[in-house]
Amino acid sequence: DVVLTQSPLSLPVTLGQPASISCRSSQSLVYSDGNTYLSWFQQRPGQSPRRLIYKVSNRDSRVPDRFSGSGSGTDFTLKISRVETEDVGVYYCFQGTHWPPYTFGQGTKLEIK
Amino acid sequence: EVQLVESGGGLVQPGGSLRLSCAVSGFTFSTYWMHWVRQAPGKGLVWVSRINSDGSATSYADSVRGRFTLSRDNTKNTVYLQMNNLRAEDTAIYYCARHGSGNHFDYWGQGTLVTVSS
């Protein structure tokens, strides 16, 4: 099974400051079709998960452009350029390349300092 | 508007059964794979099962294989998760999620809580 390791697991950030979350995979996430199926999800307190980024760097509609994804192979990063109050929650990376099982990272809890 | 609505959760004793449903609207259900993902209280997201668009193929996490069965009815726009021989560790919120071609989990339901306890 592919293991996704996120860091940090806890991320206190000052409002208006940038934030960055790392996701490292135990295997390359490049699929045979050339795509890399690495996504990022946000889960606000008491809500369902919401996808932010798919295929490494594609932002979903209605996701603010302060969110960006990057990386390749086994190393990926989610960046928030300026953290806002509504960004509080848990962030998960996810891989859909090697399945079953599909796997998620452990989650990174972002809070306002 | 795309909507996924789960139902069927509740309190069940260890060894018991439940059937979860996920009714969808707002898109062509028969062209999408569907998944279930669960989240134990205070824990992270864990993939449970998936079914392809016509229902001919399913996959399961090791922890539920042989106890859970995923099926779908494309005439009713609904996917079903039959859960048998439930254990305390199956206690979680269960979410259904949509999967288009190379497009994983772009929409999720609100979740349904399953509690396994005596």
Task: Kindly report, residue by residue over B19-54, the tens digit of the pLDDT.
Answer: 999 999 999 999 999 999 999 999 999 999 999 999
Determine what percent of chain A is predicted with pLDDT higher than 70.
Answer: 100
Residue B9 has pLDDT above 90, yes or no: yes
> What is the reported pLDDT for B100?
87
Q: Which chain B positions have a beta carbon within 8 Å of A60's beta carbon?
A: 106
Task: Let me know if B95 is exposed, middle or buried by CB neighbors in 10 A (0-12, 13-18, 19+).
Answer: buried
Q: Which residues contact A10 (CB under 8 A, 6 or more apart)?
A: A108, A109, A111
Region A13-30: mean pLDDT is 98
Q: Which chain A positions have a beta carbon within 8 Å of B35's beta carbon?
A: 102
Region A9-30: mean pLDDT is 98
Residues of chain B contacting A, Cβ within 8 Å: 35, 37, 44-47, 50, 59-62, 95, 99, 102-106, 108-111
Region B86-94: mean pLDDT is 98
Rounded to a whole number, what is the distance in Å from the CA of A104 to chain B's nearest CA?
Answer: 6
- Average pLDDT over chain A, rounded to an integer: 97
> What is the reported pLDDT for B101?
81
Largest CA distance in chain B: 42
Residue B107 has pLDDT above 90, yes or no: yes
Mark out the alpha helices in chain A (DSSP H runs). Answer: none
pLDDT band at B6; cut points 50, 70, 90: very high
Region A20-42: mean pLDDT is 97
Query: For chain A, what is the total number of helices (H) and then of strands (E)?
Result: 0, 11
Which residue, among A79, A108, A103, A106, has the nearest Cα to A91 in the 3D structure?
A108
> What is the reported pLDDT for B102?
81
Residue A55 has pLDDT above 90, yes or no: yes
